[in-house]
């Protein structure tokens, strides 16, 4: 494994981390705790030290799996989670961005993760209006002072949300998460330069273009009903798969496409870590190999 500095946080993160939307049972597979334990044990052996999760990957389901799996090795992991979309039992509706609501979500995430601090706490792809909320950032910066959160982050919904990135330093934010992969490199135009100017750490998400850069899907691929890819317009999946297959023609025959796709992202000096979502130990290993390409 190789390690990179996560911007001004100074943290050394593995250049390949783990994305865990999959653990929330949204990707056509139900997980059991034993399998998750085995995945994280193998990740440790591979030198991976960064995991990205969220309050809404299941109702704290992904966080719960991770909390259990890392209970005896919490200190060696950098845990990034998010806020904004969770349904708190006390609150109706699904999006909650007010300071007191986020405070409740933070406590719920700490409980699920079985920890008393979160390394990176990220604004989860909200709007400009939801971001521009002084009370929210005052509350969050107080959590940093209290030691419940080490660093604040913003996971932008789209690379067009440059405004949110440009606001980072003023809000006390030191990490940005963005879509970035070999078929969608829009972040390189404005988002990544802004991150470099502000010395922000960058987590590149969806590095495999939702699995399409693994090369295993053809444009007519069908996905099971409980897989997020089945909720997208078939023509969007089709177009992305076609683009991915075209890009993969450049991959040397002896290299796994998924390893290559992770390595492609890591060529950009602004990227601190890629966070491919995984469903098996085999996928984890292939992605981790991207660090050495
Ligand atoms: N708004 C946000 O903040 C936001 C949004 C999206 C994602 N994220 C984070 O970013 C992470 C990554 O994004 P993502 O999961 O959407 O997309 P991704 O990493 O591009 O793709 C993940 C999918 O690719 C397939 N895969 C993974 N490794 C593979 C390998 N080695 N070989 C073959 N197939 C492989 C798996 O599905 P199959 O095997 O079924 O194909 C997996 O579910 C998420 O898990 C989450 O932590 C955050």
- Give the range of the structural domain holding residue 25, as residue numbers without chain letter: 3-292
Tell me which residue has its CA closest to atom 19 in ligand 1: 276
Token pair 């295993």 in the structure block, residue:
216
pLDDT in tens, the chain (293 residues): 999 999 999 999 999 999 999 999 999 999 999 999 999 999 999 999 999 999 999 989 999 999 999 999 999 999 999 999 866 555 566 668 999 999 999 999 999 999 999 999 999 999 999 999 999 999 999 999 999 999 999 999 999 999 999 999 999 999 999 999 999 999 999 999 999 999 999 999 999 999 999 999 999 999 999 999 999 999 999 999 999 999 999 999 999 999 999 999 999 999 999 999 999 999 999 999 999 99
Pocket flag, ligand 1, residue 215 (CB < 6 Å): no
pLDDT at residue 93 in the model: 64
Pocket flag, ligand 1, residue 286 (CB < 6 Å): yes
Distance 206 CA to ligand 1 centre (A): 5
Rounding to the nearest 10 degrees, give the CA dihedral for residues 185, 153, 205, 274. 100
The answer to whether the beta carbons of residues 232 and 208 sit under 8 Å apart is: no
Choosing from 65, 276, 287, 291 the residue with most ligand 1 atoms within 8 A of its CB, the one to mutate for a pocket test is 276
Pocket flag, ligand 1, residue 275 (CB < 6 Å): yes
State whether residue 242 is helix, strand or coil. Answer: helix
Pocket flag, ligand 1, residue 211 (CB < 6 Å): yes
Pocket flag, ligand 1, residue 279 (CB < 6 Å): yes
For the whole prediction, is pTM greater than 0.85?
yes
CA pair distance 173, 122, nearest whole angstrom: 9
**For residue 111, what is the domain's CATH number?**
3.20.20.100
Tokens matching residue 143: 């959590």
What is the total residue count of the chain?
293
Pocket flag, ligand 1, residue 17 (CB < 6 Å): no
Tokens matching residue 170: 């003023």
Domains of the chain: total: 1
CA pair distance 67, 186, nearest whole angstrom: 34
Tell me which residue has its CA closest to atom 10 in ligand 1: 205
pLDDT at residue 96 in the model: 86
Distance 207 CA to ligand 1 centre (A): 7
Tell me which residue has its CA closest to atom 16 in ligand 1: 206
């Amino acid at each position: 494994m190789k390690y990179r500095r996560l911007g001004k946080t100074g943290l050394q993160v593995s250049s390949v981390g783990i994305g865990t939307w999959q653990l929330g049972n949204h990707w056509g597979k139900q997980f059991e705790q034993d399998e998750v334990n085995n995945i994280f044990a193998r990740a440790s052996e591979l030198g991976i030290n960064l995991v990205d999760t969220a309050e809404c990957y299941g109702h704290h389901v992904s966080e719960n799996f991770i909390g259990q799996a890392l209970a005896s090795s919490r200190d060696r992991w950098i845990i990034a989670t998010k806020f904004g979309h969770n349904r708190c039992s006390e609150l109706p509706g699904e999006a909650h961005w007010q300071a007191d609501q986020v405070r409740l979500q933070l406590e719920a995430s700490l409980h699920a993760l079985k920890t008393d601090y979160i390394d990176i706490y990220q604004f989860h792809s909200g709007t400009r209006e939801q971001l521009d909320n002084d009370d929210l950032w005052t509350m969050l910066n107080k959590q940093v002072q209290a030691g419940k959160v080490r660093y604040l982050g913003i996971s932008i919904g789209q690379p067009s949300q440059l405004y949110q990135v440009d606001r980072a330093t003023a809000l006390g934010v030191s990490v940005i998460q963005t879509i970035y992969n070999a078929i969608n490199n829009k972040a390189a135009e404005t988002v990544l330069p802004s991150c470099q100017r502000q010395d922000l750490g960058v987590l590149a998400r969806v590095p495999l273009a939702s699995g399409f850069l693994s090369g295993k899907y053809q444009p007519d691929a069908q996905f099971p009903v409980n897989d997020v890819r089945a909720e997208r317009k078939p023509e969007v999946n089709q177009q992305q798969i076609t683009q991915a297959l075209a890009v993969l023609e450049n991959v040397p025959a002896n290299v796994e496409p998924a390893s290559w796709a992770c390595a492609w992202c890591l060529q950009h000096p602004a990227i601190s870590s890629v966070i491919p979502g995984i469903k098996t130990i085999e996928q984890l290993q292939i992605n981790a190999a991207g660090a050495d390409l």
